[in-house]
Amino acid sequence: MHGIQLLQTDKFNGRYVAMKSPKDHTVIAAGDTPSEALENARKQGVENATLVYVPVEESVHIY
């Protein structure tokens, strides 16, 4: 089963991405860690960003 593609680019593969909201997928900031992505979003003036991890293509993640 494939998920919904939120981003139309692979430049964020393997990184955490902060978006405006769950409905607005505008990328505000990115980082190598969740903390870095959220801090970068705060620097852009977004306090409550939606954080997602973008996996590397063709990789398997077990949670």
Query: What pTM did the predictor assign?
Result: 0.77
Sign of CA dihedral 40, 44, 49, 53: negative
Q: What is the mean pLDDT of residues 26-32?
A: 94
Query: Strands of 15-19's sheet, edge to edge?
Result: 27-31, 15-19, 50-54
Residue 56 has pLDDT above 50, yes or no: yes
Residue predicted with more confidence, 31 or 10: 31
At residue 1, the pLDDT reads 40
Please state the φ and ψ torsions of residue 7, each to the nearest 5 degrees.
Answer: -115, 145
Query: What confidence tens digit (pLDDT) does each residue in 30-40 have?
Result: 999 999 999 99
